[in-house]
Copies of this chain bind each other. A is one copy, B any other.
Amino acid sequence: MSPHKAPDSSRRSDRSRRAICDAALSLVGEVGYARTTIEGIAARAGVGKQTIYRWWPSKAAVLMEAFTDEGARRSADVEGVGVAEDGELGIPDTGDLAADLKLVLRATVDGLNDPAAAAPTRALTAEGIMDPALGAQFVENLLEPQLQLYVTRLRAAQEAGEVREDIDPRVALELLVAPLTHRWLLRTLPLTHAYADAVVDHALRGLSVRP
C-alpha cells in the first residue's frame, strides 16, 4: 500500500533520536528556526541525513517532537509533587475566579514576552498555520492540554455558582486566551499584565449594560 516499506521502529536508535532532538533545539535557539536546516541538525547530531528523513517528514516535525519531548521531560522532573505549582500544571482554585485567571494569564504574558523562550514556539506556531498536519500535531500535543485546564477551572466555577450555567466553557476559555494569543502572534499592541487583567474583567463582566 505504502510506496516504501516502513522502517522497523523497534530497531530505532534512541541515541540518535535524542541527539537529533537536542541538536534541533539548540540550533533553533542559536540561529533561529528559519536558518535551522536538516543538514545542520544532522551535522550537529553526528547523524546521517537519512536517519532524519527516515523518521520525520520535515524539519518542523523534528522540532515538534523535540518540544513534546522537552515538555515531557520537564513534567517528569516534577512528577509526584501532587500539587500544581504553576499554570502548566493546573489553574489554582482559590474560590475567586477573576483572581485565579489573572494570576495564570499574567504568568502566560510573562512567558510569551520572554523572547528567547517564545521564539521557537512562535516559529512552530507559524509553521503549523501553513502546514495543517503539523498544526494538528501542535494543537493536540502542546496547545489542547493547556486549554483543557481552563475548561476544568471554568466548570468548577460553574459548580461554585460563580459562572453562569449557560456558558460554554470552551467558548469562554477562548474569550480569555485568544486575545493574548492575538497580541502575541500579531504584535498589534503590547502584551502586559494590565492587558491580561482587562481581558479577565471584560470577559467576566461582559460588555453590555445590565438589562
Q: Which residues of A contact B (CB under 8 A)?
A: 33-34, 97, 122-123, 125-130, 132, 135-136, 138-139, 143-144, 147, 154, 161-164, 167-168, 170-172, 174-175, 177-179, 181-183, 185-189, 195, 198-199, 202-210
Contact = CB atoms under 8 A, between A and B. Distances in A.
Contacts of A183: 174
Contacts of A172: 202, 207
A188 B143 contact: yes
A208 B162 contact: yes
Query: How many copies of the polypeptide does the oligomer hold?
Result: 4
Contacts of A33: 130
> Dominant SS at the A interface?
helix
Contact of A144 (B138, B147, B188): B188
Nearest to A173: B179
Nearest to A128: B186
A167 B136 contact: no
B203 A206 contact: yes
A13 to B, nearest CB: 18
Contacts of A182: 174, 177-178, 181-182
Contact of A188 (B125, B129, B147, B189): B147
B199 A129 contact: no
B207 A164 contact: yes
Contacts of A135: 186-187
A53 B171 CA distance: 45
B202 A171 contact: yes
In this complex, the member of A128, A132, A147, A209 whose beta carbon has the largest number of chain B beta carbons within 10 angstroms is A209
A138 B185 CA distance: 12
